[in-house]
Amino acid sequence: MRVGILTGGGDCPGLNAVIRAAVLAGTQRHGMSFVGFLDGWRGVLDGDVVALDEERVRPLLAVGGTVLGSSRTNPLAGGAAQGVQRVRAQLAALGVDALLVIGGEDTLGVATALHEAGVPVVGAPKTIDDDLSATDATFGFDTAVQTAVEACDRLVTTGASHHRAMVVEVMGRHAGWIALHTGMAAGAHATLLPEEAVDLDAVADVVRSVLARGGAPLLVVSEGAPVLGEQAVKDAPVDAFGHVQLGGAGEQLERELQRRVPGLSSRVTVLGHLLRGGTPSAADRVLATRFGLSAVEALAAGRLGTMAALRGVDVVQVPLAEATGVLRTVPPARRSETAGLRW
Ligand code: F6P
């Protein structure tokens, strides 16, 4: 079996570890051969492929990003039937029997449509946002949180030296998992999530009370938090999947706090794509490797239209359609864990 691998959507640490595990296990255990499509679905539409063999993938375990490149190209954007036909034709022309698609809800949404149209495909979930409902965790998230916490630990010491409020904006789009875990692990005094209305007066009270006891407030804000009642959006075009580019929540928060706390000294740091770059954590290497192994086993067993997913401590294969059904956002129980506590 000749398998084409692609990585789509925003990159995240661990993508190369999936590719490595899939190619090594597929080659050694099942006699498969592999090619990589460059830049996600763009490579499929253009027939842009590179060879992927054991020698190529062996060094990739700890390498950040994706050696295949990524894009937000949507092959179904010009019409689903036409898009499916183009993909099918390219796979036939290149002699590719099946696809291993590594992506988030958009990329896996395309994979689901292809599966429903009879194209042999399996998936592996990735996103630093950890917002896919079909899996208990996605690789990339652990690394992103670790990076954010390290940044906060640094910002806390300089904030304390200057008696300053430090506002830290993190990624996550519509899900506040990165902000929630960063806030908890870094000891933030307030954490603002996309899932909750923002009470600016309450945040200002927290800032005043931390300053009054001689501390330096640390405020973690998710890029999707509705600081002014709705998400802060950049003046940029939407991508091929209809997503707007978020940005500006941290600055909005700082401005509102300045208005409410006279004389406040504050600084904003937007961590942004720093959270997506660099080498994956050990936990993400393990999860990514297990997803790669599982996807190859699904292909070998003919369990097409499935995606590797973590359920508890087990990696299982679930229907692809489940992956893209509902966004996994932070539930009220997790949001209220620290409510009312003064850190
Ligand atoms: O979905 C992953 C993510 O990193 C989000 O947290 C963020 O909003 C978005 O991608 C940024 O995407 P881009 O790479 O297009 O700036």
Domain coordinates of the chain in residue numbers?
Answer: 2-139+280-325, 141-276
- Split at pLDDT 50, 70, 90, the class of 323 is confident
| 106 C-alpha to ligand 1 centroid (Å) | 12
Q: Which of 75, 91, 92 is nearest to 83 (CA)?
A: 75
* Helical spans, DSSP H, in the chain: 15-30, 41-46, 54-57, 80-94, 105-116, 141-162, 177-186, 200-212, 249-260, 282-300, 320-323, 332-335
Query: CA-to-CA distance for 236 and 184, rounded, in angstroms?
Result: 32
Ligand 1 pocket, residue 127 CB under 6 Å? yes
Whole-number percent of the chain with pLDDT over 70: 100
Query: CA-to-CA distance for 124 and 328, rounded, in angstroms?
Result: 16
Ligand 1 pocket, residue 224 CB under 6 Å? no
Active-site position among 11, 106, 129, 131 = 129
Return the pLDDT at 337.
Answer: 92
- Find the angle CA(41)-CA(44)-CA(50) to the nearest 5 degrees: 110
Ligand 1 pocket, residue 131 CB under 6 Å? no
- Find the angle CA(162)-CA(168)-CA(170) to the nearest 5 degrees: 165
Q: Per-residue pLDDT for 325 more than 90?
A: no
Task: Kindly report, residue by residue over 144-192, the tens digit of the pLDDT.
Answer: 999 999 999 999 999 999 999 999 999 999 999 999 999 999 999 999 9
Q: For atom 14 of ligand 1, which residue has the closest CA?
A: 10
| 175 C-alpha to ligand 1 centroid (Å) | 12
- Split at pLDDT 50, 70, 90, the class of 113 is very high
Best of 7, 72, 171, 330 to mutate for ligand 1, by most ligand atoms within 8 A of CB? 171
- CATH number of 141-276, picked from 3.40.50.970, 3.60.20.10, 3.40.50.460, 3.40.50.2300: 3.40.50.460
Q: Per-residue pLDDT for 322 more than 90?
A: no
Return the pLDDT at 326.
Answer: 87
Ligand 1 pocket, residue 172 CB under 6 Å? yes
Return the pLDDT at 111.
Answer: 97
Ligand 1 pocket, residue 246 CB under 6 Å? yes
Tell me how long the chain is. Answer: 343
Q: Count of CB atoms within 10 A of residue 157's CB?
A: 10
* Cα dihedral across residues 250, 255, 261, 265: positive or negative: positive
Q: Per-residue pLDDT for 212 more than 80?
A: yes
Tokens 């996103």: give the residue: 127
| 26 C-alpha to ligand 1 centroid (Å) | 30
> In this structure, what are the phi and psi dihedrals at residue 93, rounded to the nearest 5 degrees?
-65, -35
Instruction: Point out the ligand 1 atom lying closest to the alpha carbon of residue 104.
Output: 1
| 127 C-alpha to ligand 1 centroid (Å) | 9
Q: Per-residue pLDDT for 136 more than 90?
A: yes
Across the range 19-26, mean pLDDT stands at: 98
Task: Kindly report, residue by residue over 269-293, the tens digit of the pLDDT.
Answer: 999 999 999 999 999 999 999 999 9
Return the pLDDT at 226.
Answer: 98
- Split at pLDDT 50, 70, 90, the class of 231 is very high
Best of 129, 132, 145, 223 to mutate for ligand 1, by most ligand atoms within 8 A of CB? 129
Ligand 1 pocket, residue 171 CB under 6 Å? yes
Same fold, 2-139+280-325 and 141-276: yes
Q: For atom 8 of ligand 1, which residue has the closest CA?
A: 173
How far apart are the two ends of the chain, measured CA to CA in Å? 56
CA distances in angstroms from 136 to 101, 283, 293, listed in the order given: 19, 14, 17
Ligand 1 pocket, residue 126 CB under 6 Å? no
CATH code for the domain defined by 2-139+280-325: 3.40.50.450
The reply to whether 129 belongs to the active site is: yes
Return the pLDDT at 3.
Answer: 98
Ligand 1 pocket, residue 128 CB under 6 Å? yes
Task: Kindly report, residue by residue over 25-79, the tens digit of the pLDDT.
Answer: 999 999 999 999 999 999 999 999 999 999 999 999 999 999 999 999 999 999 9
Return the pLDDT at 148.
Answer: 98
Return the pLDDT at 236.
Answer: 82
Whether 222 and 174 have beta carbons less than 8 Å apart is answered as no
> In this structure, what are the phi and psi dihedrals at residue 324, rounded to the nearest 5 degrees?
-110, 5
Best of 12, 128, 182, 271 to mutate for ligand 1, by most ligand atoms within 8 A of CB? 128
